Amino acid sequence: MEDQYNHRASNMKVMLTWTIALERYDDVIKYFLAGKEKIPKGLKLVGRWHSASHGWALLEADDVPTVYKFTDQWESMIRFVVTPVMDDAEAAAILQSK
Q: What's the pLDDT score for residue 2?
A: 46
The pTM assigned to this predicted structure is 0.81
Q: What's the pLDDT score for residue 11?
A: 77
Q: What is the CATH number of the domain that holds 49?
A: 3.30.70.920
Q: How many helices (H) and strands (E) does the chain have?
A: 3, 4
| Domain with 17 in it | 3-96
Model pLDDT for residues 11-36, shown as the tens digit of each residue: 799 999 999 988 999 999 999 999 98
Helix (H, G, I), strand (E, B) or coil at 6: helix
Residues of the chain scoring pLDDT < 50: 1-2, 9
Contact criterion met (CB below 8 Å) for 60 and 13: yes
Report the domain count for the chain: 1
Q: Cβ–Cβ contacts within 10 Å for residue 30, how many?
A: 11
H or E stretch covering 40 = none
Q: Position 71: which residue type? A: T
